Structure 1
Amino acid sequence: MSGGSRKRPFKAFFRKVSRSRPANAAIAFSVRNVIAGIRRLGLPRAGRWAERITRFIAPLVPESKLALANIGAAFPEKSEAERKAILDGVWRGLGHTAVEYVFLDQLVDFDPERPGEGRIDVKGIEYFESLRDDGKPAIIFSAHLANWEILAVVAAKFGLPLVSLFRAPRNNRIAEDLLDERARLMGRLVSSSRGATFEVGASLDRGEHLGILTDQHHSAGPRVPFFGRPVAANPLVARLARHYDCPVHGARSIRLPNGRFRVELTPPLDMPRDLEGLIDVTAGTAAVMAVVEGWVREHPDQWLWLHNRWR
């Protein structure tokens, strides 16, 4: 029997054990204790520790090598030192994002009645308000930039009816904890599994709004340019916009100094249309990815280059 043949049964056995009820319960118990420990440390101190840990881990994981290759292909004009500085920023930001999730209720202290106060500066307030009040469906896309979790929380602060797609963890107990916490802060959540499209469609029929991260690989999607190379992109934004003929906005968060953020909601995109006057799915998807590319170029150290985006 070959070495590969011996490994496959072991991997199958390990996967089965790791997904068993006792394993799920043990993992969930550990995660809850870690979260409690982070809360005891407080946001500033926990953020500093998380930054140290992620920067220590970074050289040890293969994703760092992949990220450096991605950064080099996207920015061939940058030196090796500049590329490593971008990657260092990615890992530092990832550490802070992981900790900030525990403190989202404190972090997003934005009040639409007093927009100049707190940690969050919002640009595009007029679009949040018009979307909230017009009673029509719309789609808001975003990307894994800075702390992307705060976007839906800010929308909830405006009272904007938003349905957010999310990928649930395989551990059911952790998934329940996350769902409860997110729903409390962000509003309605839909797991991006089979059947999600029908639930999203029903929400848009009611005049609600869809929030979706759209910068990851989507094997069945059209291939569109991204940093001069083709990527398989998620066409859901353009498909739904075509079906409902509704506006499409982009939303991003930008990490600022001293633990502050800027949240930006763009004006509605001028989505390309075909000869019948309907939104063109492939060209529309390319337009969405062009916006994301512009965001990443502006703050390259705040995007998750760790994804295998160009497959």
Structure 2
Amino acid sequence: MDRLKRHFVMAGLWSLALLPFALQSLLGAVIGRVSYRRNGRSARVSRANLQLCFPDKPSEEVERLCAESLVATGRTLVETPGIWLRRPLANARRLVEVRGIEVLETPLAEGQGVLILLPHIGNWEMLNVYLAQRGGGATALYQPPRQAYLADDIKKVRERLGNDMVPATVQGVRQLYQKLKRGGTVVVLPDQVPNQGEFAPFFAEMALTDALVWRMAQRTGAAMILMCTLRRPDGRFDVEARPCEPGVYDADAAVGLEAVNLTVQRLVEDYPAQYQWEYKRFRERPAGERKLYTFRSGEAQYHG
């Protein structure tokens, strides 16, 4: 049965991958608009997060960002199989402008490892394409899919460009440390809720934050930067690289993690419509604080 499911899923991924780019964008936009109009979980969580993070924005602006964010997420969903499976050159042609790349090139030229923070904004899978253009060799931490029968296939297609994927296990983390100590490049997604971590401010709320990125920088002396691939109005992408807030290197974990979140926050403030607001970033709460994301009567509510 698992073998049949695997073939069915891979056939579906290939079907999406072979669609023209314009049709992928259109289909993704339709998925996002339907999600917004149905006002299901994705729309309600997105709206709640926007209200939490931008309490001063008028409701009309919140609704606009909610709708645009869901469209962007729908497009990312439909585009991703093509990024995994299409010929690399076809995807590379969709990269237009590269900004701030010296923050990556300078430490690498000096033999220093680089830890890239890659938030869920734009289409984060496209950074794999860009790094492959530079010769590949980056290593990224990933969470294997819940469907174990897909694990090998997903890992294989994500590594086909020349970058390495290691699982979020003790052994996988050990490989990241080794890569950084050798002056290599490691990519991590800093805005996921970890199994363990420390609470640090993200916008106006406390968010459980993975301390791994801070520890890796402390123990390896790696440079920490932020990178993203942002969607242009024409459906192509720009690559943007930025330095992190200076506090990311502080010896105090609380200061360092606050700076990590602030680095992500500054980017999100610049491109709020491209952020994946449907993710329950604040689902874990500090002791004694009430849970967020309680919905009733079809409306998004949260406890402040």
Which of the five TM-score ranges fits, normalised by the shorter chain?
0.7 to 0.9
Structure 1 residue 33, shift from structure 2 partner: 1.9
The structure 2 residue matched to 1:87, chosen from 44, 63, 66, is 66
Alignment partner, residue 262 of structure 1? 238
Change (3 A) 1:273 1:237: closer
Contact 1:142 1:214 (8 Å CA) reproduced: yes
Question: Contact (CA 8 Å) 1:43, 1:99: kept in 2 or not?
Answer: no
Displacement of 1:272 after TM fit?
Answer: 5.4
Deviation, structure 1 residue 310? 1.4
Larger Rg belongs to: 1
Alpha carbons of structure 1 residues 107 and 302: separation in structure 2 relative to 1, 3 Å: farther
- 1:152 equivalent in alignment to 2:128: yes
Contact 2:136 2:162 in 1 (8 A): no
Structure 2: how far apart are the matches of 1:140 and 1:253? Answer: 13
Going from structure 1 to structure 2, the CA distance change for 1:29 and 1:161 (only over 3 Å counts) comes to: closer
RCO higher in structure (CA 8 A, sep ≥6)? 2
Q: Which residue of 2 aligns with 1:189?
A: 165
**Number of residue pairs matched by the alignment:** 278
Matched position secondary structure for 1:231: strand
The answer to whether the aligner puts 1:203 opposite 2:175 as a matched pair is no
| Inter-CA distance 272–259: structure 2 relative to 1 (3 Å threshold) | closer
Deviation at 1:131, TM superposition (A): 4.1
- In the TM superposition, residue 186 of structure 1 has moved relative to its aligned partner by 4.8
Deviations 1:7-59 (A, max 9, x none): xxxxxxxxxxxxxxx1x323322222222322343221132123213322342
Decide whether aligned partners of structure 1 residues 79 and 133 sit closer, same or farther in structure 2, where only a CA change above 3 A counts: same
Query: What corresponds to 1:78 in structure 2?
Result: 57
Using the aligned pairs only, state the percent identity.
Answer: 26
Instruction: Give the aligned partner of residue 120 of structure 1.
Output: 96
- What letter corresponds to residue 29 of structure 1 in structure 2? H
What TM-score results when the alignment is normalised by the length of structure 2? 0.84
Of the three residues 172, 178, 200, the one matched with 2:148 is 172
SS of the equivalent of 2:160 reads: helix
Helix, strand or coil: the match of 1:254? strand
Superposition deviation, residue 146 in structure 1: 0.8
Q: CA RMSD in A?
A: 2.1
CA distances 1:228-257 after superposition (whole Å, capped 9, x unpaired): 211111111111111112211111222111
Tell me if structure 1 keeps the 8 A contact 2:225–2:243: yes
Deviation at 1:128, TM superposition (A): 3.4
State how far apart, in whole Å, the 1-side matches of 2:35 and 2:118 are.
27
Question: Is 1:98 aligned to residue 81 of structure 2?
Answer: no
Q: Residue 138 of structure 2 aligns with which residue?
A: 162
2:255 maps to which residue?
Answer: 283
1:66 matched to 2:66: no
- Conserved 8 A contact 2:35-2:43: no
Corresponding letter in the other structure for 2:81: V
